Structure 1
Amino acid sequence: MSFQSLGLAPTLLRALSEQGYQTPTPIQQAAIPLVLEGHDLLAGAQTGTGKTAAFGLPLLQRLAATPQRDRRPRALVLAPTRELALQVHENLRAYTRYQRVSSAVVYGGVGMGQQLEALRRGVDLLIACPGRLIDHLARGSVDLSAVEVLVLDEADRMLDMGFLPSIKRILAKLPRQERQTLLFSATFADPIKQLAMEFMRSPREVMVTPRNTVAETIAHRVHPVDSGRKRALLLHLLAADTRVQTLVFARTKHGSDRLAQFLEKVGVRAAAIHGNKSQNQRQRALAEFKAGKVKVLVATDIAARGIDIDQLPRVINYDLPMVAEDYVHRIGRTGRNGASGQAISLVAQEDARLLRQIVRLLGRDMDIQEVEGFAPATPIRWGEGAPGKARAAGGADAPRKPAGHRGRRPQGKAPRHAHAGAPGGHRPPRPQPPRHGATPQA
């Protein structure tokens, strides 16, 4: 299938061709015809599958077909983070190279002057973060009464971030009649569907990937380590190939800063990106990372939403996420569009429960590899539903539990422990301690 077969205007096709896009992705194939026909749409696809073009191309075609009547926005795209809002704006502007469609983006963390000026001039398309849009509504600097199309991008993340009250306030300012609503999300938890049913009209539903799936081209690897040696192990992994760009996830803003500062002190070009950074700091760090000037970007989960980097080879989970579904979002930054990628997790004993939850969510094995010189002082007790295939530091398979051992995990393989063995040999299996109580549920 080609973009021509989807019914897109020649101006859009020309812009796509000049950017090297020839074949639509599955979500684009499924969504674009439905949006062009005017249907409300509930669409699910993982990060990096082309969601922006799936809603953006038919949206731009609709706006270009009729001239702007006044200065009020005719289409509104809501995005959860500044980075994602900027990314969507940048992508859509590239598609409008041969169209007369004006656009603006509004987000917090910066002054309102330029945003106010853009809104005064008038725009066809407004991309906004909910919080800053509420500020503009309160000031009376934006009028949403002419919005014909509403897009909620990454709706699951907006709900996770507590934007539901803001979204409902914004919806109250939009016209109800003849409004087309498009909701895009990586996952469809029940609250998402409930929200959709409240303000969408008989939406068509498209799900091109099952919930919580990850690209098959990503290799998942776990390195057991004592928590006090995580920094040293991270530095060891980075030093193995200093040319590889790496996105590192930390759990907290303060932790991100400390980790980036540590890497800088030992000679690794690193930057941190999180919610306490100013917008200019975040944009500069991201631009330097994309340009290769910074080799390691340390990020929190929320700040990483909207990071769009082609061919990112490696993601390292310095801290595992507290919510298993965030693992899917994190590693979705690598292994895009058929490229190979690595997802590496540094796991201490206190992280074992979180890793078990991730394994249950994904329903797949992970490779456990002890790194020579960094094996935990006491082997990690994985418990029921261990994460996967364990290998000792020298690359030898760690001993298996007896085949009849109770407690099976995804794919039916018995859990194994990773032990650091002597070079070229195996250590004998350790006796298994008796189990007490049920395994914590994910």
Structure 2
Amino acid sequence: METNQTDPKAIEAEDILPEISFEELTPEMREACNRAGWKTLVPVQAKSIPYFLAGRDMMVQSRTGSGKTGAYILPIMQKINAQQNVAQALVLVPTRELALQVSREAEMLTKGTNIRTAVVYGGVGYNAQLEAFRGGAQLVIGTPGRILDHLLKNTLSLDNLKILIFDEADRMLSMGFYPDMVKIRKYIPSGKILSSMFSATFPPQVIRLSDQFLHNSNLLSLSGNQVHIAEIEHIYYVVPGMRKERSLVRIIEIENPSSAIIFCNTKDTVHYLSVVLKRFGYDADELSSDLAQSMREKVMARVRRGALRFLVATDVAARGIDIPDLSHVIQYEPPEDPEAYIHRAGRTGRMGSSGVAISLVAEMEKFKLQSIARYYNINMEERPLPNDEELERIVAERITALLEARLRSRDNLQIERMRRFVPLARNLAQSEDELALITMLLDDYYQQTLHAPPAPAASADQENGFTQNKKNRKPRPRNKNRGKIEENRQ
């Protein structure tokens, strides 16, 4: 696979820092490693720690389980002043599970020092978190929504912040945390903050996020000796032959792609899968040679505007289509021609960004996929199909973050108004028979918020045009324009 040698964020050869060895660490860092039972440094630690110590902002491409937590906790220990009982380092993570995992590792590494850790996340009470802040925690680890809650309530101050870490930035965006992250930015001191971003992939959305928080950042990839983004992450799931579409829905729920082309081998499968995705509430449409020209043009118009989230298509129908900022390619059926895999996967990971290529295969088909991976020298990862428990946990964390964000946006009058429903909410929550009502409301809100179509690029212009017309409109304009509005809805 070709790599991106012209990435504007790639480190110039003369600016690449040599790796650090275990023996070259400071005595404090070596003691921390000994507490964790580490005798050597893993690649992500050896490569990234020198940039931290040099005070350089970095975007580090690394996967879960690569040892990245130690890569930022060790230098954080070096830069924190343990005599100052104020928040000096903030680590933002996408989930409660990761927050707890990072905090456990941080506490193990800092054991016996005066560095204290606070871990904060939504869906639980505030008391333990407030106690940790009052105890003078210098290292704060948490999800963006709950961190923002504390900032708004003045129970957490970032005035003395020195280090800001984004762990699994791509997942943070997929969880719907972007609005909260933008609001957190207002509380970060204007002076130089050492900032780094860790992510398995760097799609355009993550790169744009890095531009908002990081200063003159460079990319550090662990995909070999090159310092660049490894453009495409290749993943496959072994799925049962029956109800394969349900397996796809599970994967979409976990991955939450911002946009994707879903490839099928036949026109019938394209149509069937498109109908299923729409029925599940996803913004999806189909493209095949059976489609009438007028319908094809409508679908293509949405694709060109970047206003369609999931395009289900055959290889032939998708030829020549370029979807801007495409984050995922999903191969619902593996291609009959091995070379077609490369053409399909190559639709994402363009223009210096990265993407994800996902394949769904039956048990016997995975050997063909592995053969393609060997032939083209692709690092392909097998992942287990998400089970019910994992799916429920991810969905619950997402909707909790969304609802907490919505509650934060309410003014005093709206909060006063909603109090009239407190008795009803309490009764519904206590009644097993009425649980279906709450479940329905949560499902509707989740679907409307997370699975709505992307906002078309032209929408802002249309909105401005409508505003201008509104100023000079004549009486009863709604009746005049009603026909046009109805046409646009169809």
Note if contact 2:332-2:360 (Cα within 8 Å) is conserved in structure 1: no
Q: What corresponds to 2:202 in structure 1? A: 188
Aligned mate of 2:28, from 8, 11, 22: 11
Q: Which amino acid in the other structure matches residue 67 of structure 1?
A: A
Q: What corresponds to 1:61 in structure 2? A: 78
Matches within 5 A, 1:320-359: 353-356=331-334
CA displacement at 1:198 relative to structure 2? 2.4
Aligned mate of 2:212, from 180, 198, 201: 198
Q: Which amino acid in the other structure matches residue 127 of structure 1?
A: I
Q: How far apart are the structure 2 equivalents of 1:44 and 1:136?
A: 30
Q: Which amino acid in the other structure matches residue 129 of structure 1?
A: T
In structure 2, the CA distance between the partners of 1:227 and 1:75, relative to structure 1 (3 Å rule), is same
User: What SS does structure 1 have at the residue aligned with 2:141?
Assistant: strand
Q: What corresponds to 1:154 in structure 2? A: 168
Q: How far apart are the structure 2 equivalents of 1:193 and 1:51?
A: 19
Note if contact 2:237-2:359 (Cα within 8 Å) is conserved in structure 1: no
1:85 matches 2:85:
no
In structure 2, the CA distance between the partners of 1:166 and 1:356, relative to structure 1 (3 Å rule), is farther
TM-score normalised by length of structure 1: 0.52
CA displacement at 1:222 relative to structure 2? 3.7
Q: How far apart are the structure 2 equivalents of 1:21 and 1:2?
A: 15
In structure 2, the CA distance between the partners of 1:190 and 1:369, relative to structure 1 (3 Å rule), is closer
1:225 matches 2:241:
yes
Q: Which amino acid in the other structure matches residue 354 of structure 1?
A: Y
Q: How far apart are the structure 2 equivalents of 1:45 and 1:2?
A: 17
Q: Which amino acid in the other structure matches residue 104 of structure 2?
A: E
User: What SS does structure 2 have at the residue aligned with 1:126?
Assistant: strand
Note if contact 2:234-2:358 (Cα within 8 Å) is conserved in structure 1: no
Note if contact 1:12-1:98 (Cα within 8 Å) is conserved in structure 2: no
Aligned mate of 1:141, from 132, 152, 155: 155
- Considering only aligned residues, what root-mean-square deviation do their CA atoms show, in Å? 4.0
In structure 2, the CA distance between the partners of 1:355 and 1:59, relative to structure 1 (3 Å rule), is farther
TM-score normalised by length of structure 2: 0.48
Q: What corresponds to 1:327 in structure 2? A: none
Q: What corresponds to 1:125 in structure 2? A: 139
1:110 matches 2:88:
no
Q: Which amino acid in the other structure matches residue 4 of structure 1?
A: F
CA displacement at 1:23 relative to structure 2? 2.0
Note if contact 1:130-1:167 (Cα within 8 Å) is conserved in structure 2: yes
Q: How far apart are the structure 1 equivalents of 2:175 and 2:245?
A: 32
Q: What corresponds to 2:56 in structure 1? A: 39
User: What SS does structure 1 have at the residue aligned with 2:83?
Assistant: coil
Q: How far apart are the structure 2 equivalents of 1:230 and 1:166?
A: 31
User: What SS does structure 2 have at the residue aligned with 1:187?
Assistant: coil
CA displacement at 1:363 relative to structure 2? 7.7
User: What SS does structure 1 have at the residue aligned with 2:155?
Assistant: coil
Contiguous gaps of at least 5 residues in structure 2: 1-18, 224-229, 257-276, 283-329, 346-355, 377-490
In structure 2, the CA distance between the partners of 1:222 and 1:121, relative to structure 1 (3 Å rule), is closer
Note if contact 2:92-2:144 (Cα within 8 Å) is conserved in structure 1: yes
CA displacement at 1:125 relative to structure 2? 0.5
Note if contact 1:3-1:24 (Cα within 8 Å) is conserved in structure 2: yes
Q: How far apart are the structure 1 equivalents of 2:244 and 2:182?
A: 45
CA displacement at 1:203 relative to structure 2? 1.6
Q: Which amino acid in the other structure matches residue 206 of structure 2?
A: I
1:389 matches 2:372:
no
Note if contact 2:121-2:147 (Cα within 8 Å) is conserved in structure 1: yes
Q: Which amino acid in the other structure matches residue 77 of structure 2?
A: L
Contiguous gaps of at least 5 residues in structure 1: 232-248, 254-299, 303-319, 323-351, 371-385, 391-407, 413-442
Note if contact 1:73-1:124 (Cα within 8 Å) is conserved in structure 2: yes
CA displacement at 1:28 relative to structure 2? 1.1
CA displacement at 1:356 relative to structure 2? 4.1
How many residues align? The count is 267
1:411-430 CA distances to partner (integer Å, 9 max, x unpaired)?
58xxxxxxxxxxxxxxxxxx
1:273-292 CA distances to partner (integer Å, 9 max, x unpaired)?
xxxxxxxxxxxxxxxxxxxx
In structure 2, the CA distance between the partners of 1:355 and 1:78, relative to structure 1 (3 Å rule), is farther
